[in-house]
Structure 1
Amino acid sequence: MTENDPHTRQLLVLPDRDAAEEAAETLAAELPGLDQPEIVRDALAGEDDAEDAQWLVVLDPPADGWTPALLHTLDTLAATHEGWRETA
């Protein structure tokens, strides 16, 4: 799978748990056709301090795949919470 594959899992990388939970709630409300997002803590390599963790909102692709409009929505939501989107 590549970044351009419309069936690739998407990750919103966010700075803290509150931002991840808020983003997941927003997604559930605005895009009810998506599966429930999974929230995962991702400790940075080599870091033991809990403050050095990122939080991921993991999103499986819709049945028809990600459209440019949906990806733009994810990018905007991530940026609103001082984060970014990556593919898994």
Structure 2
Amino acid sequence: MSDVRHVLVLPDRDAADEAAEALRERFGVREELRVVRDALAGEDDAEDAQWLVPVRDEEGRLDAAELDALAGEWEGWREEP
């Protein structure tokens, strides 16, 4: 088993919550997905935060291109593992 982890980066909390739900529905992700706020360096304003959805892919079954497309639906992106 490997420790592959993908991180979807989304512009706001609603987008992150919706993307997490889509991961469960479309990809069958069973783990409890946590949505995490990531404040940009030097910024205190909540408007300047990104929201992250980390997801483990120990079996390597999640397709990177499909995850990119999923994040793109909410104007986000996938960070490389």
**What is the TM-score normalised by the length of structure 1?**
0.80
Distance 1:31 1:84, change over 3 A: same
Tell me the secondary structure at the aligned position of residue 78 of structure 1. Answer: helix
Matched with 1:37 is: 33
Which segment is superposed worse, 11-20 or 35-44?
35-44
Q: How many residues align?
A: 80
Structure 1 gaps of 5+ residues are: 1-5
Cα deviation, 1:12-53, whole Å, max 9, x if unaligned, reads: 000000000000001111111442322100000000001000
Matched with 1:15 is: 11
* Aligned equivalent of 1:80, options 62, 73, 78: 73
Give aligned-pair identity as a percent: 54
Structure 2 residue identity aligned to 1:56 = L
The 2-side partners of 1:16 and 1:44 are apart by: 13
1:64 pairs with 2:25: no
Question: Which 4+ residue blocks in structure 1 deviate beyond 2 angstroms?
Answer: 33-37
The 1-side partners of 2:45 and 2:29 are apart by: 37
For the aligned residue pairs, the C-alpha RMSD in angstroms reads 1.7
